[in-house]
Amino acid sequence: MKVIFFLFFIFLSLGAFSSENSHKVMPKHNWSFDGITGIFDKAAIQRGYKVYREVCSGCHSMRLLYFRDLIDIGFSEAQVKVIASDYTVLDGPNNEGEMFERSARPADRFVNPYINDNEARANNNGAYPPDLSVITKARKNGVDYIYNLLLGYVEPPKDVNLGQGMYYNEWMPGNQIAMPSPLSDGVVDYDDGTDNNIEQLSEDVVYFLKWAAEPEMEVRKNLGIKVILFFIILGFVVYLGKNRLWRDVS
Partner 1 sequence: MSGSKESKQYKNSVLNWIEFRLPIISYFEKEYGDYPMPKNCNYFWSFGALSMIILVTMIVSGIFLAMNYTPHTDMAFDSVERIMRDVNYGWLLRYIHLNGAAFFFIIVYIHMLRGMYYGSYKYPRELNWILGCVIYVLMTATAFLGYTLPWGQMSYWGATVITNLFSVVPIVGEGLKTWLLGDYTVSNATLNRFFALHYVLPFVIFGVVGLHVAAVHVHGSNNPAGIDIKSKGDTVKFFPYMLLKDTVALCVFGVIISAVIFFGPNIMAEVDNYIPADPLVTPAHIVPNWYLAPFYAILRAIPSKMGGVLAMGAAIGILFVLPWLDTSKTRSCNYRPMYKWFMMLFFINFFALGYVGLKPAEGLYLLIARVGLVYYFAFFLLITPFVGWIEKPKKLPASISDAYLGGNKEFPLPLAEKEIN
Residue (2 or 158) nearer to partner 1, CB: 2
Farthest CA pair distance, the chain: 87
Residue (57 or 133) nearer to partner 1, CB: 133
Which residues, including other chains, have CB under 8 Å from residue 92's CB and lie 6 or more apart? Answer: 98, 99, 100
Start-end of H helices in the chain: 2-21, 42-54, 77-85, 117-123, 142-150, 198-213, 217-246
Question: What's the one-letter identity of residue 154?
Answer: V
Which of these, 174, 156, 178, lies nearest to 166 by C-alpha position? 178
Residue (9 or 100) nearer to partner 1, CB: 9
Closest distance to partner 1 from the beta carbon of 88 (Å):
22
Q: At what angle do helices 198-213 and 42-54 cross, to 10 degrees?
A: 100
Closest distance to partner 1 from the beta carbon of 182 (Å):
20
Residue (142 or 182) nearer to partner 1, CB: 142
Residue (158 or 244) nearer to partner 1, CB: 244
Closest distance to partner 1 from the beta carbon of 195 (Å):
32
Closest distance to partner 1 from the beta carbon of 249 (Å):
6
Task: Give the bridge partners for 21, in sequence order.
Answer: none
The residues that touch partner 1, with contacts defined as CB under 8 A, are 1, 4-5, 8, 11-12, 14-15, 18-19, 36, 64, 69, 130, 133-134, 137-140, 142, 173, 215-216, 220-221, 223-225, 227-228, 230-232, 234-235, 238-239, 241-242, 245-246, 249-250
Query: DSSP states of 159-215 as a string?
Result: T--PPTT-EE-TTSTTSEESS-----TTSS--TT-----HHHHHHHHHHHHHHHH-T
Closest distance to partner 1 from the beta carbon of 36 (Å):
5
